[in-house]
Structure 1
Amino acid sequence: MNFLKLNSIIKTVFLLFLVGLFKPVFSQDLTLVNNIDGRYKISLNGHWQILIDPYENGFYDYRLKESDNGYFKNAKPKTKQELIEYDFVKSDYLNVPGDWNSQREKLELYEGTVWYQKSFDYSVKKDKRLFLYFGACNYYSIVYINGKKLGEHEGGFTPFCFEVTGKVNEKENNIVVKVDNKRRADGVPTVNTDWYNYGGITRDVYLAETSENFIQDYKLNLEKGDFKAIHVSIKLNKEEVKNLKLSIPELKINQQIETKKNGEVSFTIESKPILWSPENPKLYDVYLINETDTLKDRIGFKTIETKGQDILLNGKSVFLKGISIHEEIPQREGRANGIEDAKLLLSWAKELGCNYVRLAHYPHNEAMLRMADELGLMVWSEIPVYWTIHYGDPKVLVKAKDQLNAMITQNINRASIIIWSMANETPVSEDRNNFIKSLCSYTRSLDNTRLLSAALEISHKDNNTNILDDVLGEYLDVLGCNEYLGWYEGKPEDALTKSWNTIYNKPMVISEFGAGALYGFHGDKDERFTEEYQENVYINQLKMLDKIPFLRGMSPWILADFKSPRRQLHGIQDGWNRKGLLSDKGLKKKAWFTLKKYYQIKK
């Protein structure tokens, strides 16, 4: 056997072995409070006092060891002589949820540690368990309550929680959170991205109450090809129960359930629900009830699969008319969060004529998925495995899997999601191939009812032919592809002579194409950054894409201009990626109308 090939096999086996040794760092599993909207919860949103700590003096002592007496103590001097060199009460504050960059000018480009502090009272209930839930903190967080460490979490776009039963008092409880948004070479994402590194507690914070043995997780779905039976899986937190009930009133389902000893149960109910689709986004009120809990959700039922080069929604071929979206509100210049922000962004997509959105390049907040359910927008949801990830590091693979698990667990019942995406624009290598293949296998083990995709690499037979032959295509259901002909490559008119081939009998979605334009900057269609140039790119791109026989969708880049420190062209970019069809004020550029007209006639 060739020595290099043998060495490669040994390296792969060793990587897989190491991955089994590393576990995510969590004090509690996310699924302990899945469907936070359906729980009884107390909001901790609002003003949090902060301390800006670029040297991390509140965490390390002068020997750079973790201090036993850091800022998490929220200490107060007991005498006039006692030396304590911080005071949350006298410090500034930030709004939660929210990023610090857009709230304080001095923090606009800050990357480092900010300490957050919040005090609260709570009426302790003996028969309830209590969890402290964070929708997301970017990027690495350590959480303390009443001076004691609860745990830590890594990942800027996934929810996490800690059980605080027995750790909370009736009066004067104190939460302190160390949030650090420094970019990390071994992070997911890594140091090199093309979006703004908003730091802070960027999503909602809640205290959530549950019963002692509560409904931990559940999934209701149709099996592929079967529209007459709902498959149900339920997991309780502890032991079996004999009086669990599933109720879907509109379908006249009232099912008494007895779980197994491990608290789990799976079964199928004969029913023929109205199928969820963009034309009719039907949702049903679903109730899970035990002795002490009633957990409500709104769930739609659909199937999504592929057949040859077609994508089938509810058994019928569908073309994905989409747009890519960042979790950012342009008018506010900050991280988006909550139902009103979701409604604004997704209503723009609907106005454009979309039936589908690509939520890039990380898991978006839960409100975006619930609003997509309501509005009838199919969704591509992805994790930030992006560009220069350390693909050969088994600990990084664990971090990526942890984010996949959190994204899928939180959104498993969202009808809108049709695609889980593994990665975006990843350079081809053996380590990268093994890394993403592992993510594909892991995702299928968590959810086999959606499609898998990733934005893959293109090869070129000659100047006039793009070939989609990335080895990862073998492991995906839908071939994603980013291409910027007319912007990073060639001229807009070159699209008219470009042809496309693939080695796979699978559907392709152009996950990105586009060009930059400054709103209000007009000129010749050959002049970069004019609205006319962007419009010309779209006109020629759409003509090219119409000729690709295996194309089944597109999500051009991007809905709205978004902040990015990479973009430095003075007077044009000024720290903004200008590829939006909407400006940084939400104003429509000429290319908006080009794409909207195309979607109006596209079948």
Structure 2
Amino acid sequence: MNSVSIALSVLIGGMALDARETVDLTGKWTFSFGNEAPRQVDVPHTWNAEDGVDGPKTGRHPGFSVGSSSYRRGVGTYERELPVKPGKDKRYFVRFDGASIVTDVAVNGKPVGRHEGAFGAFCFEITDALKDSGNTITVKTDNTFNKNILPLAGDFTMFGGLYRPVTLIETEQACIVPDFYASPGVLVSQDKVTPQSASVTVTTLVGFRKDGMVDVSTTGYDSSGEPVTKLCMGRTGSLVKVEIRDARGKVVASGEARPLHQPDAAFAAAAGKLPDMAAVTLNVPEPVLWQGRQNPYLYTVTARMFVDGKETDRVEQPLGLRTIGIDPEKGFLLNGKPMQIKGVCRHQDMEGKGWALSKADEEKDMKMILDMGADGLRTAHYPQSGHIYDICDKSGMIVWSEVPAVQMVSDSPEFVKNMKQQAAEMLLQHGNHPSICMWGIFNEIGHLNTAEDRQVDMEAVLKGLKGHVKSLDASRPVVAATNQPGRRSLNEIPDYLAINTYPGWYGGGPDGMRGSIDGYLRGRETLAISEYGHGADVAVHEVPVRQPRPVSSHHPEEWQAYGHERNYNAIRQRPEVWGSFVWNMFDFASSERREGAKHGINDKGLVTYDRQTPKDAYFFYKANWNPEPMAYITSRRFTERKAAETEVKVYTNCDSVTLYVNGRQVGQPVKPDDLCVARWDKVSLDAGENTVKVVARTRGVVVADSCVWRLSR
């Protein structure tokens, strides 16, 4: 985002105070749904953890409306006592990391705020609603479908509840504001990054409970860099100091500025009314660049607020210095170095928990993604928790974060307002994360077959959304995922297009990926694959495997693996494809799906919904993406065999692999192909139990894997 650069020659020393206190409000709350009797629950919480994956109550299939009523949708009420005794000259805020879909908050019966949207954080000041003691907060969350709130449709369950953490924040009267779109209040932009230096602008948003506006003569700079004198409104005795520290804690740049009531015009127009701002532009000499998984180097930005020489607040934010670009011949560029992003998509739910995941759950998810060797993550189809982005910053993932504009949009004023609000929340809350390298603005937008829907100018709405995103952050490319090759005017809206395509699953054969890429590339220089994949049930097997019907209950694990082999083989050979994102990393809840072994589940994940079983296809990618030596026997769960001869297929990144059945070596060691696949045809099994083992060798390292198959005749 753009900022006004201001230089002030004001030197005020001060003593640091532990001025900001935060209290975790997760844990026990009293909860009731509708007219049900109240009970105790643990927040984060959802009331749809079970019925959100029950499947449709009718014979419809597939159903992709988030307006579904196949699970409980309505108002859930949460209540608890606030652990606070208000102090003199203190301010109090409550921050919600996420609640679904519409949330009304009251303290001691007094309304303090309303939020519309399921995926963004929100924060309300509650100072004026507090009593001396015995303070109670009441939160009503409503996951009823609302035609004025994104998303209007989608192939996923809209879990209701207070499903992310809640925090109570205490600050001084003068503070770095936590309630401006629930942003951190410290907005960091990288203006120019080279190996020699990096220019970083830090804009700190501050708020004052007491008046004290005064005229302040400041020195700023015009677009050509010439100094100009401006008369602005400021606060007497206030100052913001900013430091950038390297990974060892050494200060590498510092500066200061007086907060001014002089917001950047373009930013103010996009974000609405702004608090006072203190903008400091700093130079980091010879920066260590954030180079993805190769070297995810992080600096720390610290903004400290002073009033009359005393520190009243401080906020720290991550800083990863990098440049990003997309080149038709080289692909995605990180600091000028080309890479084809090897990514996955992720939904934020898990068996037995729905959306109400703990930090440990999220860390487990990311560990499985990182262990597989992926270097990219698409947080489909909505912004995910700040903790997920923190992990991506530290681990070096390239992230595509997107607005929840899924399948359809409306042009009503209420909808457009909410769409822009949710976009602003995503950008302002998460824009400091270096891992986020692109903003997504839509997924598979199309028209329904209704007269009312056909009147909506969806493309005009999405062009307006792109302009809104660009006005808040012009530093990142805008991308979008489409599944409509014929909608050229729609597909030209984003800076860079990506496609959702499923060769070998929804039509065509698994070798159709090349044709999909060619079809969308016509007249276009570059492309990404935002979704591709196949369903799989780890209890369903077939050798040799045939292409199944997606809407059937027969989703053999072997077909998913074979489909990914063929799809990825086509992707990796195309330099015009700057990245790909497997759909999906984990099985996820889709309440209206009626297919596979369990209805209500989209089983295209590389890992089961409970996270207990990585499927065969997971290890295909691990062999190709993670250089750590490994070997994995596929179809290992196909334990009961009836054919005396079978193929044995192994995923391995080693130089050679040897197969043994019941201790007998089968043939000669095999060299895997360039997709890390080793095969043996017509391997004979003994009647009864067969121990199948492989031993793989590479550069002096030996790894092994084994499983047991039983042959019954």
Do they superpose with TM above 0.5? yes
Q: Work out whether residues 427 and 457 of structure 1, in 8 Å CA contact, stay in contact via their aligned partners in 2.
A: no
Matching residue within 485, 488, 504 for 2:503: 485
**Structure with higher helix content:** 1
Q: Work out whether residues 99 and 200 of structure 1, in 8 Å CA contact, stay in contact via their aligned partners in 2.
A: yes
Which SS does the other structure have where 1:435 is aligned? helix
Matching residue within 191, 196, 200 for 2:157: 196
**Aligned amino acid, residue 594 of structure 1:** F
Q: Work out whether residues 320 and 553 of structure 1, in 8 Å CA contact, stay in contact via their aligned partners in 2.
A: yes
* Pairs within 5 Å for 1:84-103: 91-102=38-49
Q: Distance in 2 between matches of 1:588 and 1:553?
A: 23
Residue deviations 1:344-385, cap 9 Å, x none? 111111111111101111110111111111111111111211
Matched with 1:287 is: 302
Identity of aligned residues (%): 28
Residue deviations 1:465-510, cap 9 Å, x none? xxxx732443423211100111111122444666615255553210
Alignment of 1:560 with 2:507, yes or no, is no
Alignment of 1:160 with 2:128, yes or no, is no
Change (3 A) 1:337 1:475: same
Q: Distance in 1 between matches of 2:484 and 2:149?
A: 26
Matched with 1:375 is: 395
Larger CA deviation: 435-444 vs 96-105: 96-105
Offset, 1:256: 3.8
Matching residue within 603, 620, 624 for 1:578: 603
Q: Distance in 2 between matches of 1:481 and 1:39?
A: 45
Q: Distance in 1 between matches of 2:509 and 2:582?
A: 17
Matched with 1:300 is: 320
Matched with 2:348 is: 327
Matched with 1:389 is: 409
Q: Work out whether residues 110 and 129 of structure 2, in 8 Å CA contact, stay in contact via their aligned partners in 1.
A: no
Change (3 A) 1:304 1:106: closer
Q: Work out whether residues 451 and 478 of structure 1, in 8 Å CA contact, stay in contact via their aligned partners in 2.
A: yes
Q: Work out whether residues 52 and 591 of structure 2, in 8 Å CA contact, stay in contact via their aligned partners in 1.
A: no
Larger radius of gyration: 2
**Aligned amino acid, residue 404 of structure 2:** P
Q: Work out whether residues 567 and 573 of structure 1, in 8 Å CA contact, stay in contact via their aligned partners in 2.
A: no
**Aligned amino acid, residue 273 of structure 1:** P
Which SS does the other structure have where 2:570 is aligned? helix
Offset, 1:219: 2.5
Matching residue within 113, 116, 125 for 1:151: 113
Offset, 1:342: 2.2
Which SS does the other structure have where 2:582 is aligned? coil
Matched with 1:219 is: 187
Q: Work out whether residues 457 and 470 of structure 1, in 8 Å CA contact, stay in contact via their aligned partners in 2.
A: no
Offset, 1:424: 0.5
Q: Work out whether residues 187 and 431 of structure 2, in 8 Å CA contact, stay in contact via their aligned partners in 1.
A: yes
Q: Distance in 2 between matches of 1:572 and 1:578?
A: 9
Matched with 2:422 is: 403
Matched with 2:533 is: 514
Which SS does the other structure have where 2:621 is aligned? helix
Q: Distance in 2 between matches of 1:303 and 1:249?
A: 20
Offset, 1:401: 0.8
Q: Distance in 2 between matches of 1:174 and 1:111?
A: 25
Change (3 A) 1:302 1:172: same
Change (3 A) 1:381 1:204: same
Change (3 A) 1:120 1:243: closer
Alignment of 1:551 with 2:577, yes or no, is yes
Offset, 1:44: 1.7
Which SS does the other structure have where 2:567 is aligned? helix
Q: Distance in 1 between matches of 2:83 and 2:251?
A: 42
Matched with 2:201 is: 232
* Pairs within 5 Å for 1:148-547: 148-190=110-152, 192-216=153-177, 217-224=185-192, 226-227=194-195, 228-234=197-203, 235-238=205-208, 239-240=234-235, 242-250=238-246, 252-253=251-252, 255-262=254-261, 263-271=276-284, 272-277=286-291, 278-290=293-305, 291-308=311-328, 310-330=331-351, 332-390=352-410, 392-427=411-446, 431-459=457-485, 470-495=488-513, 500-501=518-519, 502-503=521-522, 505-523=524-542, 524-528=544-548, 529-547=555-573
Offset, 1:387: 1.0
**Structure with higher strand content:** 2
Offset, 1:165: 1.1
Offset, 1:144: 1.1
Alignment of 1:52 with 2:33, yes or no, is yes
Q: Distance in 1 between matches of 2:255 and 2:512?
A: 63
Offset, 1:111: 0.8
Point out where structure 2 has 5 or more consecutive residues left out of the alignment.
Answer: 1-18, 55-69, 178-184, 209-233, 262-275, 306-310, 448-453, 549-554, 628-673, 676-713
Q: Distance in 2 between matches of 1:106 and 1:219?
A: 39
**Aligned amino acid, residue 237 of structure 1:** G
Offset, 1:519: 1.1
Q: Work out whether residues 255 and 282 of structure 2, in 8 Å CA contact, stay in contact via their aligned partners in 1.
A: no
Residue deviations 1:370-419, cap 9 Å, x none? 111111111111121111332x2222111111001111111111111001
Offset, 1:578: 0.5
TM-score, normalisation: structure 2:
0.69
Larger CA deviation: 300-309 vs 577-586: 300-309
Offset, 1:244: 2.1
Larger CA deviation: 170-179 vs 298-307: 298-307
Matched with 1:83 is: none
Change (3 A) 1:105 1:185: closer
Larger CA deviation: 528-537 vs 539-548: 539-548
Change (3 A) 1:426 1:497: closer
Q: Distance in 2 between matches of 1:318 and 1:135?
A: 33
Change (3 A) 1:144 1:521: same
Change (3 A) 1:495 1:420: closer
Matching residue within 572, 580, 591 for 2:617: 591
Alignment of 1:125 with 2:125, yes or no, is no
Matching residue within 82, 86, 98 for 1:136: 98
Q: Work out whether residues 327 and 364 of structure 1, in 8 Å CA contact, stay in contact via their aligned partners in 2.
A: yes
Change (3 A) 1:231 1:550: same
TM-align CA RMSD: 2.6
Q: Work out whether residues 133 and 161 of structure 1, in 8 Å CA contact, stay in contact via their aligned partners in 2.
A: yes
Offset, 1:319: 1.4
Change (3 A) 1:139 1:169: same
Q: Work out whether residues 220 and 230 of structure 1, in 8 Å CA contact, stay in contact via their aligned partners in 2.
A: no
Q: Work out whether residues 148 and 418 of structure 2, in 8 Å CA contact, stay in contact via their aligned partners in 1.
A: no
Change (3 A) 1:441 1:224: farther
Q: Distance in 2 between matches of 1:348 and 1:504?
A: 38
Q: Distance in 2 between matches of 1:504 and 1:213?
A: 55
Point out where structure 1 has 5 or more consecutive residues left out of the alignment.
Answer: 1-37, 55-85, 461-468
Q: Distance in 2 between matches of 1:503 and 1:106?
A: 40
Q: Distance in 1 between matches of 2:79 and 2:29?
A: 5
Change (3 A) 1:176 1:503: same
Q: Work out whether residues 157 and 362 of structure 1, in 8 Å CA contact, stay in contact via their aligned partners in 2.
A: yes
